[in-house]
Amino acid sequence: RPDALRLIYRESGPPESMLAIANRERALCGAPPQGVSPVSLWRHRMECRLADLVVVWSRASAERFLEAGYPEAKLRIIPPGVDRRPRARPGRARRFRALFVASDPFRKGTRTLFEAWARVQAADAELICVTSRQLFASPLLVRALMEQPTIRWQPFTSHREFQRLYDDI
C-alpha cells in the first residue's frame, strides 16, 4: 500500500554513532575495536531514508540521529515500558541488590558503573550485571569483576528466567 505509513524502529542511534561510542569505550577498557560492514551501514541508511518515521526509545537516541543529520520531524520517541508488579515477599529482610542489563557492555557504560560501584564500597549490596561475553574482551572490566566480589556477571538467559531474576531483585 503506497499510502501506508512506513515506520522503522531503532533502539539506539545510527550505527556509525553507536560504533564510535562503543569503540571509544572499548579503547578505554583495553578491548579491541569493532567494525560494521559497509552493507549494514548502507542498509540502515536506506531503511531510515525510506521510512516516514524513525521511532526511537529515548531522547539520547533521538539526539544521535539529529547529530547524524536526520530531520527532527522524522523522529518519534516512544519510551520502552513494562507493567510488571513484582510479587511482594513479606518478612524477608534482604540486602540491596541492583540489576544492570546491557547488550553492549561498552556502549552502555559498564566501566563507569563498575567504577561507581567500587567507590560506594557496599559490602552488604550486590550488583548483578547481565551482559554479553564481550565484557571479557576487556582486561580492565575482568579485573574489576575479580576485585569486587559484590559484582556478579551473568550471561543472557531465557525470557522466563530473566523475569524471575527481575522479580527477585
Predicted confidence (pLDDT) per residue in 101-112, tens digit:
998 999 999 999
pTM of structure: 0.77
Mean pLDDT, residues 25-32 taken together: 95
Mention every residue, 6+ apart, whose C-beta is less than 8 A from residue 103: 131, 132
Calculate helix-pair angle for 15-29, 139-147, nearest 10 degrees.
60
* CA torsion, ordered 109, 114, 120, 124, to nearest 10 deg: 120
Distances (CA, A) of 37 to 15, 34, 41, 80, 105: 10, 10, 7, 28, 20
pLDDT tens-digit map of 120-154 = 877 789 999 999 999 999 999 999 999 999 999 99
* pLDDT higher than 90, residue 79: no
The DSSP symbol for 2 reads T
Please state the rounded mean pLDDT for residues 48-53: 93
pLDDT surpassing 90 at residue 95: no
Residue 117 CA to residue 137 CA, distance in Å, equals 20
Residue 15 C-alpha from the chain's centroid: 14
